[in-house]
């Protein structure tokens, strides 16, 4: 059984690297099998086709992100803005390792007919549960308009810029000759202000 799990994880890891490098449409199962060091036939033992592999890859990261977030919430003081910022910052920095899957998710979401799982489904398990917890901080009534405002702010003003920063940051630093640590400092200083403003908006 351990060998089966290891082989499946190898396939998922190889698929993520190939999809991120060449895009879903430009990738083949032969390339993924070669990258994983297995035969193409072995892929079909775990996945029906390339689309099934992509969907399972997204679900794998959704589970991973949700588990990571659940562990973080257990140590958060909801009355402390600094604690809340540390929560968001921990997620933001941890997601630097997730830049490949986010690149894939963004590209697939741009298509007129995207695959079954997209960028928003990657964020949703983290965002929606956070909304439920953050609602407990407010004494005012939280209606759907306020929740949608929070979702829009967190996705379009925070999450997407964050992933673009991770995807393009190195190229930006090289082009403008900016030190990477300084670049990170500037980016997260602005992100902190936006995040805290959004929380205060609740």
CA distance linking residue 93 with residue 99, whole number of Å: 11
In this structure, are 86 and 119 located in the same domain? yes
H/E segment holding residue 34: helix 29-36
Nearest Cα neighbor of 123 from 145, 102, 138 is 102
Residues 108 and 145 in one domain: yes
What is the distance between the alpha carbons of residues 142 and 112, in angstroms, rounded to a whole number? 33
Q: Could you report the per-residue pLDDT of 78-87, keeping only the tens digit for each?
A: 677 787 788 7
Domain stop point among 11, 26, 47: 47
Strands (E), the chain: none
d(CA 6, CA 4): 5
96 and 163 assigned to the same domain:
yes
Let me know whether 120 and 167 are in one domain: yes
Global pTM reads 0.74
**Helix, strand, coil: what percent of the chain each, to 5?**
80, 0, 20
For residue range 19-51, list pLDDT tens digits in order. Answer: 988 988 999 999 999 999 999 999 999 999 998
- C-alpha to C-alpha distance for 169 and 178, rounded to whole angstroms: 10
User: What domain range is 42 assigned to?
Assistant: 1-47
Question: Based on the domain organization, do 23 and 64 belong to the same domain?
Answer: no
Domain co-membership, 159 together with 66: yes
């Amino acid at each position: 059984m351990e060998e089966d799990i290891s082989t499946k994880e190898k396939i998922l890891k190889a698929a993520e690297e190939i999809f991120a490098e060449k895009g879903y449409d430009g990738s083949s199962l032969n390339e993924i099998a070669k990258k994983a060091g297995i035969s193409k036939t072995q892929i079909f033992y775990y996945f029906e086709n390339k689309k099934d592999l992509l969907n399972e890859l997204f679900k794998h990261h959704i589970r991973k992100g949700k588990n990571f977030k659940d562990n973080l919430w257990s140590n958060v003081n909801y009355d402390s803005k600094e604690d809340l910022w540390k929560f968001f910052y921990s997620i933001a920095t941890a997601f630097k390792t997730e830049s490949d899957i986010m690149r894939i998710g963004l590209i697939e979401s741009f298509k007129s007919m995207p695959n079954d799982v997209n960028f928003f489904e990657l964020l949703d398990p983290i965002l929606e549960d956070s909304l439920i917890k953050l609602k407990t901080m407010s004494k005012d009534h939280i209606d759907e308009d306020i929740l949608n405002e929070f979702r829009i702010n967190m996705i379009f003003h925070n999450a997407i810029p964050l992933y673009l920063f991770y995807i393009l940051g190195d190229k930006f630093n090289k082009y403008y000759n900016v030190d990477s640590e300084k670049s990170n400092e500037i980016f997260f200083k602005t992100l902190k202000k936006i995040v805290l403003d959004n929380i205060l908006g609740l």
